[in-house]
Amino acid sequence: MKTNRAGFLPFALLSQRATHGQTLIGIMLKPTSLKELPRYPVTALLAGTALGVTTLWWTGQNIDGCFMDGRVWSQWELWRAFTSIFPHVDIFHLAFNIYWLWVFGPIVERAFGHVRFAAMALLLSVVPAFAEFSLFSGGVGLSGLGYGLWGLLWVLQHHDPRFADTVDARTSRLFVGWFFFCILLTASKIMPIGNIAHGVGAIMGALIGWATSTQRISRAAGIAAIALISLLSLAGSTIGWPHINRTEFAQAEVERAGVEALNDRENARAVKLLRLSVHMKAAPARAWYNLGVAYQRSGDLVRALTAYEHAARMPEADEQIQKTAREMKKYISSRESNRKK
Protein backbone atom coordinates (compact mmCIF):
# COMPACT_ATOMS: atom_id res chain seq x y z
CA MET A 1 0.00 0.00 0.00
CA LYS A 2 1.33 3.43 -0.87
CA THR A 3 1.46 5.64 2.19
CA ASN A 4 2.32 9.25 2.73
CA ARG A 5 5.27 10.01 4.93
CA ALA A 6 4.27 12.33 7.74
CA GLY A 7 7.59 13.31 9.24
CA PHE A 8 9.64 16.16 10.60
CA LEU A 9 13.13 17.47 10.05
CA PRO A 10 15.67 15.43 8.07
CA PHE A 11 18.83 14.39 9.92
CA ALA A 12 21.04 16.40 7.58
CA LEU A 13 19.24 19.62 8.47
CA LEU A 14 19.27 18.91 12.17
CA SER A 15 23.03 18.33 12.11
CA GLN A 16 23.85 21.74 10.58
CA ARG A 17 25.46 24.40 12.76
CA ALA A 18 23.60 27.54 13.80
CA THR A 19 25.08 31.03 13.96
CA HIS A 20 26.29 30.72 17.55
CA GLY A 21 27.99 27.37 17.03
CA GLN A 22 25.11 25.30 18.45
CA THR A 23 23.10 22.66 16.68
CA LEU A 24 19.44 23.36 16.00
CA ILE A 25 18.57 20.81 18.66
CA GLY A 26 20.82 22.66 21.08
CA ILE A 27 18.95 25.95 20.73
CA MET A 28 15.44 24.51 20.80
CA LEU A 29 13.44 22.52 23.30
CA LYS A 30 15.06 19.37 24.63
CA PRO A 31 13.19 16.20 25.57
CA THR A 32 12.65 15.09 29.15
CA SER A 33 15.30 12.77 30.54
CA LEU A 34 14.60 9.10 29.88
CA LYS A 35 15.06 8.49 33.61
CA GLU A 36 11.65 10.12 34.09
CA LEU A 37 9.93 7.86 31.58
CA PRO A 38 7.79 6.05 34.22
CA ARG A 39 6.23 9.40 35.18
CA TYR A 40 4.73 9.75 31.70
CA PRO A 41 3.15 6.38 30.83
CA VAL A 42 0.93 7.66 28.00
CA THR A 43 3.80 9.37 26.20
CA ALA A 44 6.02 6.34 26.79
CA LEU A 45 3.34 3.93 25.54
CA LEU A 46 2.80 5.91 22.33
CA ALA A 47 6.52 6.12 21.62
CA GLY A 48 7.15 2.48 22.53
CA THR A 49 4.26 1.24 20.38
CA ALA A 50 5.52 3.27 17.43
CA LEU A 51 8.98 1.77 17.87
CA GLY A 52 7.60 -1.77 18.16
CA VAL A 53 5.14 -1.60 15.26
CA THR A 54 7.69 0.06 12.98
CA THR A 55 10.23 -2.66 13.81
CA LEU A 56 7.68 -5.34 12.95
CA TRP A 57 6.95 -3.62 9.62
CA TRP A 58 10.61 -3.27 8.72
CA THR A 59 11.25 -6.94 9.49
CA GLY A 60 8.53 -8.06 7.10
CA GLN A 61 5.75 -8.84 9.58
CA ASN A 62 2.13 -8.31 8.57
CA ILE A 63 0.75 -5.11 10.10
CA ASP A 64 -2.12 -4.67 7.66
CA GLY A 65 -4.37 -3.38 10.43
CA CYS A 66 -2.14 -0.34 10.84
CA PHE A 67 -2.90 1.25 7.48
CA MET A 68 -5.76 3.40 6.25
CA ASP A 69 -7.52 1.88 3.25
CA GLY A 70 -10.95 1.48 1.70
CA ARG A 71 -12.14 -0.65 4.61
CA VAL A 72 -12.40 2.53 6.67
CA TRP A 73 -15.15 3.58 4.28
CA SER A 74 -16.72 0.29 3.19
CA GLN A 75 -16.55 -1.60 6.51
CA TRP A 76 -16.23 1.29 8.97
CA GLU A 77 -12.94 0.06 10.41
CA LEU A 78 -12.45 3.40 12.11
CA TRP A 79 -9.76 2.16 14.48
CA ARG A 80 -7.30 2.27 11.58
CA ALA A 81 -7.08 6.04 12.03
CA PHE A 82 -5.39 5.42 15.37
CA THR A 83 -3.24 2.41 14.48
CA SER A 84 -1.90 4.22 11.39
CA ILE A 85 0.10 6.60 13.61
CA PHE A 86 2.49 3.84 14.68
CA PRO A 87 4.28 2.63 11.51
CA HIS A 88 7.07 4.86 10.18
CA VAL A 89 8.73 4.84 6.78
CA ASP A 90 12.41 5.02 7.78
CA ILE A 91 14.75 5.62 10.68
CA PHE A 92 14.68 9.41 10.40
CA HIS A 93 10.90 9.49 10.17
CA LEU A 94 10.70 7.38 13.32
CA ALA A 95 13.47 9.07 15.29
CA PHE A 96 12.30 12.63 14.89
CA ASN A 97 8.62 11.92 15.36
CA ILE A 98 9.46 10.18 18.64
CA TYR A 99 11.84 13.02 19.52
CA TRP A 100 9.13 15.67 19.27
CA LEU A 101 6.59 13.46 21.01
CA TRP A 102 9.03 13.12 23.90
CA VAL A 103 9.66 16.89 23.89
CA PHE A 104 6.00 17.92 23.99
CA GLY A 105 4.23 14.90 25.49
CA PRO A 106 5.57 15.08 29.08
CA ILE A 107 4.77 18.80 29.31
CA VAL A 108 1.11 18.18 28.48
CA GLU A 109 0.82 14.91 30.41
CA ARG A 110 2.30 16.51 33.54
CA ALA A 111 -0.11 19.46 33.36
CA PHE A 112 -3.34 17.66 32.46
CA GLY A 113 -2.81 14.20 33.92
CA HIS A 114 -2.64 10.82 32.24
CA VAL A 115 -6.33 10.37 31.39
CA ARG A 116 -6.92 13.82 29.92
CA PHE A 117 -3.66 13.66 28.01
CA ALA A 118 -4.62 10.25 26.60
CA ALA A 119 -7.94 11.70 25.40
CA MET A 120 -6.13 14.66 23.79
CA ALA A 121 -3.60 12.36 22.14
CA LEU A 122 -6.37 10.16 20.76
CA LEU A 123 -8.20 13.15 19.29
CA LEU A 124 -5.00 14.64 17.87
CA SER A 125 -4.16 11.28 16.28
CA VAL A 126 -7.41 10.17 14.69
CA VAL A 127 -8.83 13.47 13.42
CA PRO A 128 -5.70 14.36 11.34
CA ALA A 129 -5.61 10.77 10.06
CA PHE A 130 -9.26 10.93 8.99
CA ALA A 131 -8.72 14.35 7.38
CA GLU A 132 -5.73 13.09 5.39
CA PHE A 133 -7.60 10.01 4.24
CA SER A 134 -10.63 12.07 3.23
CA LEU A 135 -8.71 13.74 0.41
CA PHE A 136 -5.72 11.49 -0.25
CA SER A 137 -4.61 7.91 0.37
CA GLY A 138 -3.88 8.27 4.05
CA GLY A 139 -0.52 8.25 5.76
CA VAL A 140 1.55 6.80 8.57
CA GLY A 141 3.43 8.30 11.47
CA LEU A 142 3.07 10.37 14.60
CA SER A 143 3.51 13.80 13.07
CA GLY A 144 -0.20 14.69 13.06
CA LEU A 145 -0.04 14.24 16.83
CA GLY A 146 3.27 16.08 16.96
CA TYR A 147 1.87 19.09 15.14
CA GLY A 148 -1.20 18.91 17.37
CA LEU A 149 0.88 19.07 20.55
CA TRP A 150 2.90 21.95 19.14
CA GLY A 151 -0.30 23.87 18.29
CA LEU A 152 -1.73 23.09 21.72
CA LEU A 153 1.33 24.40 23.57
CA TRP A 154 1.73 27.41 21.28
CA VAL A 155 -1.77 28.60 22.26
CA LEU A 156 -1.49 27.62 25.93
CA GLN A 157 1.70 29.58 26.45
CA HIS A 158 -0.21 32.76 25.54
CA HIS A 159 -3.19 32.06 27.82
CA ASP A 160 -2.02 29.89 30.71
CA PRO A 161 0.90 30.95 32.95
CA ARG A 162 1.78 27.30 33.57
CA PHE A 163 2.92 27.00 29.95
CA ALA A 164 4.84 30.26 29.60
CA ASP A 165 7.75 29.89 27.17
CA THR A 166 7.15 26.16 26.63
CA VAL A 167 7.49 26.62 22.86
CA ASP A 168 10.34 28.91 21.87
CA ALA A 169 10.30 30.98 18.69
CA ARG A 170 12.86 28.81 16.91
CA THR A 171 10.78 25.69 17.43
CA SER A 172 7.71 27.43 16.03
CA ARG A 173 9.63 28.70 13.02
CA LEU A 174 10.90 25.18 12.46
CA PHE A 175 7.40 23.71 12.51
CA VAL A 176 5.95 26.38 10.24
CA GLY A 177 8.89 26.22 7.83
CA TRP A 178 8.84 22.44 7.71
CA PHE A 179 5.08 22.48 7.03
CA PHE A 180 5.52 24.55 3.87
CA PHE A 181 8.65 22.67 2.85
CA CYS A 182 6.68 19.41 3.02
CA ILE A 183 3.99 20.91 0.78
CA LEU A 184 6.72 21.78 -1.72
CA LEU A 185 8.13 18.24 -1.58
CA THR A 186 4.67 16.81 -2.22
CA ALA A 187 3.75 19.26 -5.01
CA SER A 188 7.04 18.60 -6.81
CA LYS A 189 6.46 14.82 -6.50
CA ILE A 190 9.78 14.38 -4.70
CA MET A 191 8.15 12.79 -1.65
CA PRO A 192 4.48 12.27 -0.68
CA ILE A 193 3.88 13.73 2.78
CA GLY A 194 0.74 13.93 4.91
CA ASN A 195 0.35 17.70 4.76
CA ILE A 196 -3.36 17.62 5.56
CA ALA A 197 -2.59 15.66 8.73
CA HIS A 198 0.06 18.22 9.69
CA GLY A 199 -2.27 21.17 9.18
CA VAL A 200 -5.36 19.66 10.79
CA GLY A 201 -3.24 18.42 13.71
CA ALA A 202 -1.93 21.94 14.35
CA ILE A 203 -5.42 23.46 14.07
CA MET A 204 -6.97 20.87 16.39
CA GLY A 205 -4.19 21.34 18.92
CA ALA A 206 -4.63 25.11 18.85
CA LEU A 207 -8.40 24.75 19.30
CA ILE A 208 -7.97 22.39 22.24
CA GLY A 209 -5.56 24.87 23.79
CA TRP A 210 -8.07 27.66 23.23
CA ALA A 211 -10.95 25.63 24.65
CA THR A 212 -9.05 24.70 27.81
CA SER A 213 -7.62 28.12 28.64
CA THR A 214 -10.17 30.82 27.76
CA GLN A 215 -13.42 32.12 29.18
CA ARG A 216 -16.75 30.34 28.88
CA ILE A 217 -18.02 31.87 25.62
CA SER A 218 -14.70 31.46 23.82
CA ARG A 219 -14.38 27.97 25.26
CA ALA A 220 -17.77 27.00 23.84
CA ALA A 221 -16.75 28.30 20.41
CA GLY A 222 -13.53 26.30 20.57
CA ILE A 223 -15.35 23.11 21.53
CA ALA A 224 -17.85 23.66 18.71
CA ALA A 225 -15.02 24.08 16.21
CA ILE A 226 -13.31 20.92 17.48
CA ALA A 227 -16.55 18.97 17.12
CA LEU A 228 -17.18 20.34 13.62
CA ILE A 229 -13.71 19.48 12.31
CA SER A 230 -13.92 16.03 13.90
CA LEU A 231 -17.32 15.29 12.34
CA LEU A 232 -16.28 16.59 8.92
CA SER A 233 -13.12 14.48 8.98
CA LEU A 234 -15.07 11.40 10.02
CA ALA A 235 -17.74 11.97 7.37
CA GLY A 236 -15.09 12.60 4.74
CA SER A 237 -13.49 9.24 5.52
CA THR A 238 -16.75 7.29 5.52
CA ILE A 239 -20.04 8.26 3.90
CA GLY A 240 -18.54 11.09 1.85
CA TRP A 241 -15.25 9.45 0.90
CA PRO A 242 -16.10 8.16 -2.61
CA HIS A 243 -17.60 11.54 -3.47
CA ILE A 244 -14.86 13.90 -2.29
CA ASN A 245 -11.69 11.85 -2.72
CA ARG A 246 -10.61 12.40 -6.32
CA THR A 247 -7.49 10.22 -6.33
CA GLU A 248 -7.00 7.04 -8.35
CA PHE A 249 -6.47 5.28 -5.03
CA ALA A 250 -10.07 5.97 -4.07
CA GLN A 251 -11.42 4.58 -7.33
CA ALA A 252 -9.42 1.39 -6.93
CA GLU A 253 -10.55 0.95 -3.32
CA VAL A 254 -14.25 1.39 -4.15
CA GLU A 255 -13.90 -1.01 -7.06
CA ARG A 256 -12.14 -3.52 -4.81
CA ALA A 257 -15.01 -3.34 -2.34
CA GLY A 258 -17.44 -3.96 -5.20
CA VAL A 259 -15.50 -7.01 -6.39
CA GLU A 260 -15.45 -8.36 -2.83
CA ALA A 261 -19.23 -7.99 -2.73
CA LEU A 262 -19.42 -9.91 -6.01
CA ASN A 263 -17.30 -12.69 -4.57
CA ASP A 264 -19.61 -12.81 -1.55
CA ARG A 265 -22.66 -13.02 -3.86
CA GLU A 266 -23.96 -9.69 -2.57
CA ASN A 267 -25.04 -8.64 -6.05
CA ALA A 268 -27.14 -5.59 -5.14
CA ARG A 269 -24.32 -4.15 -3.04
CA ALA A 270 -21.82 -4.96 -5.79
CA VAL A 271 -23.88 -3.04 -8.33
CA LYS A 272 -24.06 -0.03 -6.03
CA LEU A 273 -20.33 0.02 -5.35
CA LEU A 274 -19.20 -0.67 -8.89
CA ARG A 275 -21.61 1.86 -10.35
CA LEU A 276 -20.04 4.39 -8.01
CA SER A 277 -16.51 3.33 -8.96
CA VAL A 278 -16.95 3.75 -12.72
CA HIS A 279 -17.84 7.41 -12.31
CA MET A 280 -14.75 8.16 -10.24
CA LYS A 281 -11.49 9.57 -11.55
CA ALA A 282 -9.49 7.36 -13.95
CA ALA A 283 -11.93 4.44 -13.82
CA PRO A 284 -10.42 1.72 -16.07
CA ALA A 285 -12.13 -0.64 -18.48
CA ARG A 286 -11.89 -3.35 -15.82
CA ALA A 287 -14.25 -1.39 -13.55
CA TRP A 288 -16.90 -1.16 -16.25
CA TYR A 289 -16.45 -4.86 -16.98
CA ASN A 290 -16.93 -5.72 -13.30
CA LEU A 291 -20.06 -3.57 -13.25
CA GLY A 292 -21.33 -5.57 -16.20
CA VAL A 293 -20.75 -8.79 -14.27
CA ALA A 294 -22.67 -7.37 -11.30
CA TYR A 295 -25.61 -6.37 -13.49
CA GLN A 296 -25.57 -9.76 -15.21
CA ARG A 297 -25.66 -11.63 -11.91
CA SER A 298 -28.53 -9.39 -10.82
CA GLY A 299 -30.48 -10.36 -13.93
CA ASP A 300 -30.31 -6.93 -15.58
CA LEU A 301 -28.89 -8.01 -18.93
CA VAL A 302 -29.55 -4.74 -20.75
CA ARG A 303 -27.50 -2.71 -18.28
CA ALA A 304 -24.89 -5.49 -18.26
CA LEU A 305 -24.53 -5.12 -22.04
CA THR A 306 -24.24 -1.34 -21.73
CA ALA A 307 -21.43 -1.71 -19.18
CA TYR A 308 -19.63 -4.36 -21.23
CA GLU A 309 -19.82 -2.27 -24.40
CA HIS A 310 -18.55 0.80 -22.58
CA ALA A 311 -15.60 -1.23 -21.32
CA ALA A 312 -14.94 -2.64 -24.81
CA ARG A 313 -14.70 0.87 -26.30
CA MET A 314 -12.00 1.94 -23.88
CA PRO A 315 -8.39 1.94 -25.15
CA GLU A 316 -7.08 -0.55 -22.57
CA ALA A 317 -9.86 -3.09 -23.16
CA ASP A 318 -8.45 -6.57 -23.75
CA GLU A 319 -9.82 -9.34 -25.92
CA GLN A 320 -11.70 -10.94 -23.03
CA ILE A 321 -13.70 -7.75 -22.40
CA GLN A 322 -14.48 -7.32 -26.10
CA LYS A 323 -15.45 -10.98 -26.44
CA THR A 324 -17.81 -10.75 -23.45
CA ALA A 325 -19.48 -7.66 -24.94
CA ARG A 326 -19.99 -9.44 -28.30
CA GLU A 327 -21.37 -12.58 -26.67
CA MET A 328 -23.76 -10.65 -24.45
CA LYS A 329 -25.03 -8.63 -27.40
CA LYS A 330 -25.50 -11.82 -29.40
CA TYR A 331 -27.33 -13.51 -26.53
CA ILE A 332 -29.73 -10.60 -25.99
CA SER A 333 -30.43 -10.35 -29.74
CA SER A 334 -31.10 -14.09 -29.91
CA ARG A 335 -33.45 -13.93 -26.95
CA GLU A 336 -35.37 -11.00 -28.42
CA SER A 337 -35.65 -12.84 -31.74
CA ASN A 338 -37.06 -15.93 -30.05
CA ARG A 339 -39.63 -13.82 -28.22
CA LYS A 340 -40.94 -12.36 -31.48
CA LYS A 341 -41.46 -15.83 -32.89
User: Which residue ranges form the domains of the chain, and what is each CATH number?
Assistant: 4-241 (1.20.1540.10), 246-340 (1.25.40.10)
The 10 Å Cβ neighbour count of residue 191 is: 13
User: What are the pLDDT digits (tens) for 25-70?
Assistant: 334 567 778 888 889 999 999 999 999 999 999 999 999 999 998 8
Amino acid identity of residue 242, one-letter, is: P
Run of H or E residues at 229: helix 216-237
For the residues 69-90, what does the mean pLDDT come to? 93
The pTM of this model reads 0.82
Say if CB 314 and CB 279 are below 8 A apart: no
Say if CB 3 and CB 78 are below 8 A apart: no
Residue 24's pLDDT band (cuts 50, 70, 90): very low
The 10 Å Cβ neighbour count of residue 213 is: 20
What is the DSSP track for 238-250? TTTHHHH--SHHH
Run of H or E residues at 258: helix 248-263
Run of H or E residues at 140: strand 139-140
How far is Cα 194 from Cα 6, in angstroms, rounded to an integer? 5
pLDDT above 90 covers what percent of the chain? 70
Write the burial class of residue 26 (CB in 10 Å: 0-12 exposed, 13-18 middle, 19+ buried).
exposed
Does pLDDT of 14 surpass 60?
no
User: What are the pLDDT digits (tens) for 261-310?
Assistant: 999 999 999 999 999 999 988 899 999 999 999 999 999 999 999 999 99
How far is Cα 103 from Cα 214, in angstroms, rounded to an integer? 25
Look at residue 161 in the predicted model and tell me its pLDDT.
Answer: 85
Q: What is the longest distance spanned by two Cα atoms in the chain?
A: 96
Look at residue 154 in the predicted model and tell me its pLDDT.
Answer: 95
Estimate to the nearest angstrom the gap between the alpha carbon of 184 and the chain centroid. Answer: 19
Number of residues in the chain: 341
Number of alpha carbons in the 13 Å side-chain half-sphere of residue 114: 9
Say if CB 8 and CB 143 are below 8 A apart: yes
Does pLDDT of 243 surpass 90?
no
Look at residue 159 in the predicted model and tell me its pLDDT.
Answer: 87
Where would I find the beta strands (DSSP E) of 144-274? Answer: none
The 10 Å Cβ neighbour count of residue 166 is: 19
CA dihedral (41, 43, 49, 55) in degrees, to 10, reads -130
